């Protein structure tokens, strides 16, 4: 019995020795400093920043193109959406033909939600493109079998969403797709197709899981850089007016 009490005492002593004392820190009330817009700007900092600010503002306000009509993103065939889809197609096609894909790309798909602003009629400035595309998304080419492209057409049938496309034609009616065309031709199930899109969509963004069946080919091209280049190359923008998405009997038109 004495041994038991001795062991119990030693165990209790060891637990007490390992226990870290709990101390309550002293809490003091400090004065809050309000950060308001009317706080004076530091003259030294302003002097250092000003040249860079002036240079940046100058670049952002540089005219790169012009348009006679408003470029908007409303409706199933918005002129700005279709224009940017065409630019995505052209940029990817040029890259593909320079990088051992002699046939180029077959079509392009972008998402309307990635277009964050519109462009009014008149001069188009550099900052307009940054407002339209503020993200650092990259152009990706997805290599897919024609049979797997059924997922793309089913996506549009199910969502009835106005995500812009280029070199594609999709027509739906009464819960079915009645036309599924790439470059005006029916899709061949065994043929390999190359679809240009953004890395966001290629990785399944906006619920475009069908791209997961394809092989992703990165181009290193930033969408915004591509759009800037295309607008600069076209001093007078001619907005597309063709019909690419035709949701017949659609109850609710998309106005994003």
Phi, psi of 60 (to 5 degrees): -65, -30
Whether 33 has a pLDDT exceeding 60, the answer reads: no
Task: Please tell me the distance from the alpha carbon of residue 94 to that of residue 82, in angstroms, as a whole number.
Answer: 18
Q: How distant, in Å, are the alpha carbons of 23, 38, 174, 214 from that of 208?
A: 55, 47, 22, 12
Q: What is the per-residue pLDDT for 249?
A: 84
Q: What is the chain's mean pLDDT, rounded?
A: 86
What pTM value is reported for the model? Answer: 0.79
Is 206 or 249 the better-scoring residue by pLDDT? 206
Q: What is the per-residue pLDDT for 232?
A: 97
Mean pLDDT, range 137-154, rounded to an integer:
98
pLDDT, tens digit (0-9, with 9 covering 90-100), for 149-164 = 999 999 999 999 999 9
Task: Please tell me the distance from the alpha carbon of residue 213 to that of residue 138, in angstroms, as a whole number.
Answer: 19
Whether 55 has a pLDDT exceeding 80, the answer reads: no
Residue 20: Cβ within 10 Å count: 5
- Start-end of H helices in the chain: 2-18, 43-60, 79-98, 126-132, 150-159, 199-202, 223-233
Predicted confidence band at 38 (pLDDT cuts at 50, 70, 90)?
A: low
Mean pLDDT, range 57-79, rounded to an integer:
94
Mean pLDDT, range 102-117, rounded to an integer:
97
Q: What is the edge-to-edge ordering of all strands in the sheet holding 236-237?
A: 122-125, 63-67, 236-237
pLDDT, tens digit (0-9, with 9 covering 90-100), for 91-105 = 999 999 999 999 999
Q: What is the per-residue pLDDT for 36?
A: 58
Q: How distant, in Å, are the alpha carbons of 19, 25, 242 from that of 22?
A: 9, 10, 74
Predicted confidence band at 250 (pLDDT cuts at 50, 70, 90)?
A: confident
Of 51-65, 70-84, 107-121, 203-217, the range with the lowest mean pLDDT is 51-65
Whether 90 has a pLDDT exceeding 70, the answer reads: yes
- Pair 226, 177: CB distance under 8 Å: no
Whether 109 has a pLDDT exceeding 60, the answer reads: yes
């Amino acid at each position: 019995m004495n041994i038991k009490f001795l062991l119990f005492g030693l165990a209790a002593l060891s637990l007490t020795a390992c226990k870290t004392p709990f101390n309550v820190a002293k809490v003091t009330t400090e004065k809050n400093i309000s950060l308001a817009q009317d706080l004076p700007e530091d003259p030294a900092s302003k002097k250092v920043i000003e040249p860079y600010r002036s240079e940046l503002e100058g670049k952002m306000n540089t005219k790169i193109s012009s348009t006679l009509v408003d470029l908007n993103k409303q409706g199933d065939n918005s002129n700005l959406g279709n224009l940017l889809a065409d630019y995505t197609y052209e940029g990817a096609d040029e890259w593909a033909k320079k990088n051992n894909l002699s046939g180029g790309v077959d079509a392009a798909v972008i998402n309307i939600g990635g277009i964050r602003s519109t462009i009014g009629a008149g001069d188009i400035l550099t900052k307009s493109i940054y407002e339209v595309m503020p993200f650092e998304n990259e152009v990706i080419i997805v290599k897919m079998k024609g049979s797997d492209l059924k997922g793309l057409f089913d996506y549009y049938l199910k969502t009835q969403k106005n995500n812009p496309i280029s070199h594609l034609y999709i027509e739906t009616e009464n819960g079915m797709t009645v036309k599924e065309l790439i470059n005006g031709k029916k899709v061949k199930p065994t043929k390999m197709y190359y679809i240009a899109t953004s890395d966001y969509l290629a990785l399944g963004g906006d619920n475009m899981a069908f791209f997961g069946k394809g092989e992703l080919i990165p181009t290193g091209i930033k969408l915004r850089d591509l759009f800037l280049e295309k607008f600069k190359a076209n001093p007078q923008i001619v907005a597309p007016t063709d019909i690419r998405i035709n949701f017949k009997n659609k109850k609710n038109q998309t106005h994003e």
